[in-house]
């Protein structure tokens, strides 16, 4: 590795770009792990498919000269040494797990772009002052084990390691058992590895950048999220003999409440969103008026005050509908994450990198939760977005352009180099 650093030879990194074709090739290569017939990926966390892509990632990182370690929750860390190893590493990364019908870019882009950054710096013989660190966080998606983003949350101190290891999937398998079965319960204590700053590249998972024909989203923070479990209690009765006015139909109560959810979210447009994601009739039957329903509700907005107002309005609607229809509609908040502002210095570094590369950009807030949102409570963090086709994500048709992926990786590269070579405070 060359002794010339960007500080001594600024031209060397000014013109540096990643190998976009190599990045695209790795994206397509890793898509075979858990590939679905419809062209997507089913790579649930800690599955055999996840083990396979982790093995590939470990081998690719070691081939790039990185030092790979794994913590007790299976998170993989790949270190590129710097000139001053006393400095905390500047980190990047995301996740390699997917939804059951996921795509080729959600999470994976951030990890493989980080690998491409390391490879490109190696190719150019560039050494940074601070070391660089690439991270694959375990279980970002939360589709097999809840909560989502569990490993980064544990790293940030929101859960203990034992609490996460005890979480179980729908089949009763614990995180600890799943880690042991694929051989990825590492020896590093969770949270012991210090990180100076974290930058995450991700597809936007929304339509804004594509609609505005912008290449880069400079993410200023993540919006707040509140999750609720709900029940509607009515009364089961015969579908053929119970007159309509005498029914206590839980399904109709939920239908009316669902429309109230839409109305309340629209009242706080354009920022608020709310989603009834699951609904289950207890003991369903074709010829029985539904008496018991369980459902889930996801509410999001960039402002805490709006989350408060929406929760109050939702409870008021549940009470009013329940009284009028002779039902009991209960809403229980099970989790809330406050809006997360990213670090101004890192936001400026991302913005400056995009400007220096001549890329169109806009400031924005992340509508989805990401590992960077958890990590922002422990260290300076920021995110870079690139467009995805039609704003579609968590879907097998999820797609992004090679040029946009390469542009995002270029911004990541220049952001990391800037941060790693910045004078220590």
Binding site members: 95, 106, 141, 202, 394
Radius of gyration of the chain (CA): 23
d(CA 173, CA 176): 8
Q: Which is nearest to 96 in space by CA: 50, 147, 47?
A: 50
Cite the DSSP H helix spans in 246-340: 250-267, 304-325
List residues forming the annotated binding site for Zn(2+): 95, 106, 141, 202, 394
* Eight-state DSSP code of residue 187: S
246 — phi, psi (to 5°)? -100, 5
d(CA 180, CA 169): 15
d(CA 43, CA 32): 10
Q: Given CA atoms 377, 378, 379, 382 in this order, what sign does their dihedral have? A: negative
Exposure of 41 in the CB half-sphere (CA atoms within 13 A): 31
Name the residue with tokens 């509700």.
297
Q: Buried b / exposed e across 233-272, counting CB within 10 Å, b at 16+? A: bbbbbeeeebeeeebbbbbbbbebbbebbeebbeebeeeb
């Amino acid at each position: 590795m060359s002794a010339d650093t960007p500080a001594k030879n600024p031209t060397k990194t000014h013109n540096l770009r990643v190998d976009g074709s190599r990045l695209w090739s790795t994206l397509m290569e890793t898509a075979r792990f858990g590939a679905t017939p419809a062209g997507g990926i089913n790579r649930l966390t800690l599955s055999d498919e996840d083990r396979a892509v982790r093995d590939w990632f470990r081998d690719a990182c070691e081939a790039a000269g990185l030092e790979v370690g794994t913590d007790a929750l299976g998170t993989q860390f790949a270190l590129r040494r710097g000139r001053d190893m006393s400095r905390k590493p500047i980190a990047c990364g995301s996740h390699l797990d997917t939804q059951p019908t996921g795509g080729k870019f959600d999470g994976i882009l951030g990890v493989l772009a980080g690998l491409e950054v390391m490879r490109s710096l190696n190719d150019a013989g560039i050494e940074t002052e601070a070391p660089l660190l690439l991270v694959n966080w375990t279980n970002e998606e939360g589709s097999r084990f809840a909560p989502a983003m569990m490993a980064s949350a544990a790293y940030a101190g929101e859960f203990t390691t034992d609490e996460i290891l005890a979480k179980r999937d729908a089949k009763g398998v614990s995180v600890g058992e799943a880690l042991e079965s694929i051989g990825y319960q590492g020896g590093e204590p969770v949270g012991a590895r210090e990180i100076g700053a974290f930058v995450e590249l991700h597809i936007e998972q929304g339509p804004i950048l594509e609609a505005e024909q912008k290449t880069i989203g400079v993410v200023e923070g993540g919006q707040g999220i509140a999750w609720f479990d709900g029940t509607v209690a009515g009364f089961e009765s015969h579908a053929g003999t119970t007159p309509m006015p005498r029914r206590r139909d839980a399904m109709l109560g939920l239908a009316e409440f669902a429309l109230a959810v839409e109305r309340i979210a629209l009242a706080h447009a354009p920022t608020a969103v709310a989603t009834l994601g699951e609904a289950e009739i207890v003991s369903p039957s074709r010829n029985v008026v539904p008496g018991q329903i369980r459902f889930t509700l996801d509410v999001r907005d960039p402002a805490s005050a709006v989350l408060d107002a929406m929760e109050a309005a939702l409870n008021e609607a549940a009470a009013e509908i329940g009284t009028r229809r002779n039902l009991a509609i209960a809403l229980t908040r099970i989790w809330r994450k406050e809006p997360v502002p990213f670090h101004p210095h890192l936001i400026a570094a991302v913005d400056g990198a995009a400007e220096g590369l001549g890329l169109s950009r806009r400031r924005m807030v992340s509508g989805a939760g990401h590992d960077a949102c958890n990590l922002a409570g422990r260290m300076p963090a920021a995110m870079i977005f690139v467009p995805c086709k039609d704003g579609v994500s968590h879907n097998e048709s999820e797609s992004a352009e090679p040029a946009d992926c390469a542009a995002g990786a270029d911004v990541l590269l220049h952001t990391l180099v800037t941060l790693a070579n910045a004078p220590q405070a």
